[in-house]
């Protein structure tokens, strides 16, 4: 995106860099605060996902579990 990686590593945090990747530019302070609030709102996984994981056999293939869980997340977080 036109920023030297060294500059990002020294002066930006993870969420600023994430914002850059999503939006193509580094955020202003207000944009960063809004972005952080959005991330915090969506960072918790619904408790019922634990039941979903427990529904798999112990020897289930990890990729099958991952595929199923990613699909199930859309039912909990539609937006």
Residue 47 phi/psi, 5° resolution? -60, -30
Q: For residue 65, what pLDDT is reported?
A: 92
pLDDT of 49 higher than 70: yes
State the pTM of this model: 0.59
pLDDT of 71 higher than 90: no
Query: Nearest-5° angle of CA 10, CA 16, CA 19?
Result: 145
Q: For residue 78, what pLDDT is reported?
A: 65
């Amino acid at each position: 995106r036109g920023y030297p990686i060294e500059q990002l590593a020294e002066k930006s945090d993870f969420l600023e860099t994430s914002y850059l990747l999503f939006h193509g530019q580094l955020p202003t302070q207000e944009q960063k605060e809004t972005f952080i609030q959005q991330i915090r709102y969506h960072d918790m996984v619904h408790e019922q996902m634990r039941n979903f994981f427990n529904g798999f056999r112990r020897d289930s293939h990890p990729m099958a579990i991952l595929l199923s869980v990613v699909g199930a997340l859309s039912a909990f977080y539609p937006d």
